[in-house]
Amino acid sequence: MNMKYEVYPHTADAGVRGIGDTVSEAFEGAAMATFSIMADIERVKPETAISVELSAGSLEDLLVKWLNELISLSSLKGIVFSKFEVDVDEGKVSLKATAWGQSMKDVPLQEEVKAATYADLKVEKTGDRWVAQCIVDV
Amino acid sequence: MASRLLKKISNNVWEVPADAVQGMRVPARFYSSDKLIADLDEKAIEQAVNVATLPGIKKYSIAMPDAHWGYGFPIGGVAAFDPDENGIITVGGIGFDVNCGVRLIATNLDEEDVRPKIRQVMDSLFEGVPAGLGSEGLHLSQSELNEVMVEGARWVVRKGYGWERDLNHIEEGGMIEGADPSNVSKRAKEREANQIGSLGSGNHYLEVQVVDEVYDEDAAKAYGIRKGQVVIMVHTGSRAMGHQIGMDYIEEMAPAMKKYGIQVKDKELVSVPFNSPEGRKYFSAMNVAMNIAWANREMITYYARQAFAKAFSSSPESLGMELVYDVGHNTGKLELHEVDGKTKKLVVHRKGSTRALGPGRPELPPEYREAGQPVLIGGSMGTFSYVLKGTTKGMEETFGSAVHGAGRKMSRTQAKKEYRGEELAKELERRGMLIRGHSWSGLAEEAPDAYKDVTDVVAAIHDAGIALMVAKLRPLGTVKG
């Protein structure tokens, strides 16, 4: 595992980016970046697990769908996620994943992320590293 | 560089002509001052140009002085589409926080009455008004929520939380027709069930302000505001309901767009004809979120009235806590406008732009009809806010639309690097303004210097004659969402 994540600047909102050796790792990183806006995820305990299965027409669409599903589940269940295991099937353009997190009531919270957008959306391999990124609405 | 295409048309008005970029159907028009246009994002210009290519667009793709890079439309973008000419509706022109907006509540107190008790007032408001990520308001059953989705602020009043006369001072009377809960996903309904009456986070806030200056005595009198008076401003939207409807429909519209042969330059502009089953379906779901936002602001007003009155051991009625007005700035609405001398029913998209109807419009309550609509402009934290009035010129040029706020100039990540929330709160307190918030880092993101100067933004739209200044509001204390 050689994954990195970051929140990058955008005037009104914020960009989330995951970088990894595989597309699955890059998707995990993009999710980490998203939830790092909501809380200090290094201090969020991975106590509760949720499974996700999704498919889409392209890897880019799959990334937006993945982040939106997590944002939506987080608000629905009142959980901040902090750990992700993703298995992307590039051929089928689908993914199976598990997200772990802790109740919002037990975590100091920062800013809400409203949705992932198609703006600045990229899922691509540069050299031997995968990058998955988009702008999120905060 | 898109900025090279800009041509100055007149004072405070620039255009990218319709023949400048292939596919543009109308010019992209920018209302701005010489000072603000120099700082306008390249990306915001590109986005306004992209909007000008959409089917059925009338007159101009418009960007306000507070415009900046968004997703789909620029933030501060306005466009109107004619359904009779295959005009479209797009999620990218309304956004995820549907009917995010501002309301202003009056009091009969002066700054001298409130200043000595400001700590108590702010603590009471902070305790009484749910705010921050994960904040919860009313806990509703799904059948109750279904009623709110159709009735909006009327439901809140019917349940005894709001005042009947509040409804006269809310856009659409706080309830828009044509909202259909059956077009809203189960997920959206489940997420919203506990959120009516909560501020949320980000740039949402509740602020105690004082009327610092009055520029237009007649309009101010009509609106019930006067110099020295303490008022309360609320800025929030449709919470999870709007977010989920945006997510759901942006995905649902993409395949439909292909069917109708619409091509867009940015996937975030995914569009379908307004007069199509898909367009009508999104419109009815989006109208649900419109109603939810009005219900949310009405419920927050209940909490705010209770908390404010408690600090004075009084009642909201005896403190004169009348609703001045409530208006949205992320909306898609069917409105009548003049185009080429004919009155047409258009789908007006306003994304980060406040509706600003001119005098005489039948949508306005009789007491505001002569002055024009109150246009409520929330500043950034620690800066002024403004009340403007809509004008006839605005009706002719911008479909009755004006600015919505200061507009960011610094990214949230940059603001967090440059400012610390605790220090900022202390600095603002030294300047006579108390901050109550749930998150220090969130506070840093809203640092006053991260925004364009709201005074410049308001001056630009005033000088262009689109909306005119009525009053300036100075903050005394903020509950940050």
For chain B, the structural domain boundaries read 2-96+332-368
Neighboring chain B residues of A121 at a CB cutoff of 8 Å: 267
CA distance B48 to chain A (A): 14
Residues of chain A found within 8 Å of residue B71, distances taken between Cβ atoms: 13, 117-119, 135, 137
Go through the domains of chain A in sequence order and give each one's CATH number.
4-137 (3.55.10.10)
Nearest-CB residue to B96 (from A38, A114, A118): A114
Nearest to B87 by CA among B58, B67, B117: B58
Q: Residue written as tokens 């840093």?
A: B444
| Residues in chain B where the model's pLDDT stays below 70 | none
- For chain A, how many helices (H) and strands (E)? 2, 8
Q: Measured between CB atoms, which of B200, B244, B408 is closest to A12?
A: B408
- Among all residues of B, which ones are annotated catalytic? 404
Is the Cβ–Cβ distance between B88 and B213 less than 8 Å?
A: no
Q: Which residue in B250, B280, B239, B283 sits closest to B148, CA to CA?
A: B239
Rounded CA-CA distance A38/A40 in Å is: 7
Rounded CA-CA distance B444/B410 in Å is 11
Does A119 touch chain B if contact means CB atoms closer than 8 Å? yes
Q: Which of A35, A118, A120 is best to mutate for the B interface (most B CBs within 10 A)?
A: A118
Distance CA B109, CA B210 (A): 9
pLDDT at A1: 64
Query: Looking at beta carbons, which residues of chain B come within 8 Å of A110?
Result: 133, 201, 439, 441-442
Contact (CB<8Å) A114/B243: yes
- Which three-class secondary structure state does DSSP give residue B479? strand
* Half-sphere CA count of B260, side-chain side, radius 13 A: 24
**Residue B298: DSSP 8-state:** H
- Residue B19 C-alpha, separation from nearest chain A C-alpha, in angstroms: 26
Task: Work out whether strand B88-90 and strand B75-81 pair parallel, antiparallel, or are unpaired.
Answer: unpaired
Which helix (H) or strand (E) segment holds residue B473: the answer is: strand B467-480
In sequence order, what are the residues at sequence separation of 6 or more whose Cβ sits closer than 8 angstroms to the Cβ of residue B15?
Answer: B6, B7, B9, B27, B28, B29, B30, B60
CA A33 to chain centre: 6
Q: Which residues are CB-contacts of A41 (< 8 A; sequence separation ≥ 6)? A: A32, A35, A80, A81, A82
**CA separation (Å) from B219 to B323, B328, B385, B472?**
16, 20, 17, 13
Residues of chain B in contact with residue A105, where contact means CB-CB under 8 angstroms, are 134
**DSSP per-residue codes, B367-434:** HHHTT--EEEEB--TTS-EEEEEE-HHHHHHHSSEE--B--B-S-HHHHHHH--HHHHHHHHHHTT-E
Residue B14, token pair as written in the block:
């620039």
Using CB atoms, which residue from B95, B133, B190 is nearest to A109?
A: B133
**Chain B interface, mutation test: which of A5, A36, A72, most B Cβ atoms within 10 Å?**
A72
- Name every chain B residue with its beta carbon within 8 A of the beta carbon of A12: 68-70, 75, 408
| B261 contacts: CB under 8 Å, gap ≥ 6 | none
pLDDT tens column, B330-383: 999 999 999 999 999 999 999 999 999 999 999 999 999 999 999 999 988 788
- Kindly determine whether residue B412 and residue A118, on different chains, have CB atoms separated by under 8 Å: no
**Confidence band, pLDDT 50/70/90 cuts, at residue A133:** very high
Q: Angle formed by the axes of helices A59-77 and A23-38, to 10°?
A: 40
